[in-house]
């Protein structure tokens, strides 16, 4: 990632509503979320949400796809990874292994594997 791309991404995230939208889409995973559901979950009016989605799209932090009459937005995980990589590329004076524990802890908090659900079916 280049400096200007990092600045654009960070500037897009440096606003409370856009950061909330991005975090919600990260939580939604690769499938993303319909625009109406984003508005509902965050209580953001449609016109305002449209503006924020445009800014996040311009920063390439989110992607959009249309399914029927619905538009779904999703976090652009490769771009997010590139930004995180850019921010930490010189971590610990060129010894990134020193920072791995911190990164692993942060990722474990957001991306911990979900426990498997027990089936409610009875095979008696």
Q: Does residue 10 contact residue 60 with C-beta atoms inside 8 Å?
A: no
Question: Position of tokens 């960070």?
Answer: 10
On the CB side of 3, how many CA atoms lie within 13 Å of its CA?
0
Token duo for residue 121: 């079916």
pTM: 0.78
Per-residue pLDDT tens digits of the chain, which is 124 residues long: 899 999 999 999 999 999 999 999 999 999 999 999 999 999 999 999 999 999 999 999 999 999 999 999 999 999 998 998 888 777 766 666 666 676 676 666 665 555 555 544 444 4
Q: Angle of helix 77-88 relative to helix 97-111, nearest 10 degrees?
A: 150
The domain segmentation of the chain, as residue ranges, is 1-111
CATH code reported for the domain at 1-111: 1.10.10.10
CB 26 within 8 A of CB 80: yes
């Amino acid at each position: 990632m280049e400096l200007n791309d990092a600045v654009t991404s960070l500037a897009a995230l440096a606003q409370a509503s856009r950061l909330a939208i991005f975090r919600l889409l990260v939580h939604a995973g690769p499938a993303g979320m319909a625009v109406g559901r984003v508005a509902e979950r965050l209580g953001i009016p449609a016109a305002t949400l449209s503006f924020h989605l445009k800014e996040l799209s311009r920063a390439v932090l989110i992607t959009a796809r249309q399914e029927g009459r619905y538009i779904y937005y999703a976090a652009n995980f490769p771009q997010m990874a590139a930004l995180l990589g850019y921010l930490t590329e010189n971590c610990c004076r060129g010894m990134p292994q020193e920072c791995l524990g911190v990164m692993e802890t942060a990722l474990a908090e957001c991306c911990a594997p979900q426990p498997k659900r027990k089936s409610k079916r009875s095979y008696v």
